[in-house]
Amino acid sequence: MPRISEAEVQPFKFGLTPVFLSNDLELLGYLRGYLTSKLGGPVELVSRRTYQEITALLVSGQIHSAWICGYPYVQFKADLDLVATPVWHGKPLYQSYLVTAAGRPVNDWTGLKGDVHAFSDPDSNSGFLVTRTLLAKNKLLPEQFFSRSFFTYGHRNVVRAVASGLAQSGSVDGYVYEVMRQTEPDLIKQTRIVQQSEWLGFPPVASPKSLSGDPRVKALRLALVSMKNDPEGKKVLDLLRLDGFLATDPSLFDTIAAEVEIVRQFG
């Protein structure tokens, strides 16, 4: 009883990173409403500008759960439990895209040499790690291959930077890019995909291991996995253009862990 009472007083804090289309207030409203109804108590959505801030809050137990990227999950695998992984096009997988301005005659990633390059976030798998791994595999560092690079702290911002000409190329989450193709086609038309990565584990929802016994975390997993069967949850999924959530094994992110290792070894 005391724990229930504490839960009633303290809202369940759910963190969101820019991997998620966090600028859609309608979506945030639906998500909060759905989780509140399923968890049986108030839910607070916590947004921060960078992955690092959310990861720090999550690992330190200041928030109860968060939708993070596979790269931070791999980095803090020892401290985090997987809650659920989104399913997109039937699989809990996604890709990283290298994009450039539409009409630029570039065939593969080597054509991007000397560009001003826009990354999403230094803790983003698709928006940084994948490209850095690609370069590492070719014995290159980003600062050697690109003339300049900067972080936009948002996959949508990477697309805007490339479309406007602020950057000549960018590393972007393939899922976000494809959703934007439907929501902001004019913006996407100003860019084109140069190269797509292999399929990688979709950014998962994780919680601190310290809260593994927390019934609200279990309730969250249930709520996410059953979201596709709930009318309110379906609204959330439709806005996210996702099929649903799936309880996955941590091994789904082994490919990302391998990338981290390549980068670590190259330095």
SS3 of 72, please?
helix
Radius of gyration of the chain (CA): 19
| CB of 41 or CB of 122, closer to other proteins | 122
Q: Closest approach of Cβ 8 to other proteins, in Å?
A: 39
- Cβ nearer to other proteins, comparing 120 with 126: 120
Question: Least Å distance between CB 134 and other proteins?
Answer: 22
Between 1 and 25, name the residue whose CB sits nearer to other proteins: 25
CA distance 143 to 58: 31
Q: Specify the residue, 80 or 159, whose C-beta has the smaller distance to other proteins.
A: 159
The token pair that represents 86 in the structure block:
């989104």
Q: How far is CA 70 from CA 14, 160, 189, 201, 235, in A?
A: 17, 24, 28, 7, 25
Is residue 32 within 8 A of residue 209, CB to CB? The reply is: no
Tell me the closest approach of the beta carbon of residue 122 to other proteins, in angstroms.
Answer: 13
For the bound state, the minimum distance from the C-beta of residue 157 to other proteins, rounded and expressed in Å, comes to: 6
Closest CA to 35 of 211, 244, 223: 223
Smallest separation (angstroms) from other proteins to the CB of 59: 25
Whole-number minimum distance, CB 2 to other proteins, in Å? 44
End-to-end CA distance of the chain: 52
Residue found by looking up tokens 């969250």 in the block: 220
Do residues 130 and 197 make contact, with C-beta atoms less than 8 angstroms apart?
yes
Instruction: Pick between residue 35 and residue 172 the one whose CB is nearest to other proteins.
Output: 172
Token representation of residue 201: 């584990």
Query: Cβ 148 to other proteins, closest distance in Å?
Result: 5
- Chain contacts with other proteins (rule: CB under 8 A): 116, 118, 147-148, 150-153, 157, 160-161, 164-167
Residue spans of beta strands (DSSP E) within 11-79: 12-16, 43-47, 65-67
How far apart are the C-alpha atoms of 237 and 250, rounded to whole Å? Answer: 23
CA dist 39 and 44 (Å) reads 12
